[in-house]
Amino acid sequence: MQGQPQLSLLSARIAARLILVEAFICLLLARLALGLFSFQRLTWYFNLKARQPELSGEQRIQECRAVRNALFRVYSCYLPWATCFHWAIAAQTMLRWRGVSSTLYYGAATLSDRGLAAHTWLMAGDEGVTGIQVAQQDGYKILARYPEE
């Protein structure tokens, strides 16, 4: 029985590394998709639903936080070019694979220093996953949401 805690520690470390690899790949794929396809051609993907049973409660919140943290770590260490749109697409994809449905918001605001600006953020129910602080702080108005209601 002495090997059991070591095994669970090892599996936790492997899981922590795998989610970082997944975040890296999802951010790269999001950049590739936005570079190759028009926004309109990508909306079908943003409207997809999770295939797994929907998570709820604390497990749902933990998955949202794990995805957000993994994306932030990858962004800050390896992919500083990633934008809010890349983050939202990557997070929506990662959550969908985990059985967490989310809504991708696309909005605009007139900012005093930049003029008209666009922003994308992701919500999983009431849980802000990516970009929500900027959206609230700068008063972005929702232009579109995916999946469409």
Residue 23: pLDDT band (50, 70, 90) is very high
Full domain range(s) for residue 32: 3-146
Residue linked to tokens 């899981």: 15
**pLDDT for 107 beyond 60:** yes
**pLDDT for 100 beyond 70:** yes
Phi, then psi, of 18 in degrees rounded to 5: -65, -40
Tell me if the pTM is above 0.85: yes
Instruction: Give me the number of domains the chain comprises.
Output: 1
- The 3-class SS string of 15-81 reads HHHHHHHHHHHHHHHHHHHHHHCCHHHHHHHHCCCCCCCCCCHHHHHHHHHHHHHHHHHHHHHCCCC
Q: Residue 140 gets which letter from DSSP?
A: P
- Low-confidence winner among 21-30, 49-58, 96-105, 115-124 (lowest mean pLDDT): 49-58
Tokens of 45: 């993907």
Predicted pLDDT of residue 77: 87
C-alpha 122/C-alpha 103 separation (Å) is 6
**pLDDT, tens digit (0-9, with 9 covering 90-100), for 36-81:** 999 889 999 999 987 778 888 999 999 999 999 999 999 988 888 8
